Amino acid sequence: MSDPMMSPDPRKADSWLEPGKLNVQLVYALYLLSFLIGISGLIGLVFAYLNRGKAGGWIDSHYTYAIRTFWIALLYGLVSAILSLAFVGVLLAAATVVWVVARCIIGLQKATAGEPIAKPETWWV
């Protein structure tokens, strides 16, 4: 007979929905997917908010970075939409897409390597 106290806890495994490396990667992937399916970016934001402060260590820097990426991209997108009456808005929108993709790729690379984001509160890449 197996002792229930000795059986491994299934929740100890890194899950996509619990704070940790896989969840951070999911957040970045959802942000990238939002270019095809817009609502996925909001889902990624909710995951980041729900799990920020729970994992500790280097993972919290990724949640802060991801949350700031969403809100800054939204700001840049609104400015781009307003300026789209002039051609400058179209260029700014393209630059915003490149900026978001770059931040997500950097975040994914660092999360995969188990490294923190050096300056998670930066407005730059």
Q: Within a domain: residue 40? A: yes
> Residue 20: pLDDT above 80?
yes
pTM of the model: 0.86
Structural domains in the chain (count)? 1
- Give 52-86 pLDDT, tens digit per residue: 999 889 999 999 999 999 999 999 999 999 999 88
Instruction: Output the pLDDT for position 11.
Output: 42
Instruction: Output the pLDDT for position 17.
Output: 82
* Those residues with Cβ within 8 angstroms of residue 33's Cβ, 6 or more apart along the chain or in another chain: 40, 41
Tokens coding 50: 């729900």
Q: Within a domain: residue 124? A: no
Q: Within a domain: residue 7? A: no
User: Domain containing 66: what range?
Assistant: 18-113
Please state the φ and ψ torsions of residue 34, each to the nearest 5 degrees: -65, -15
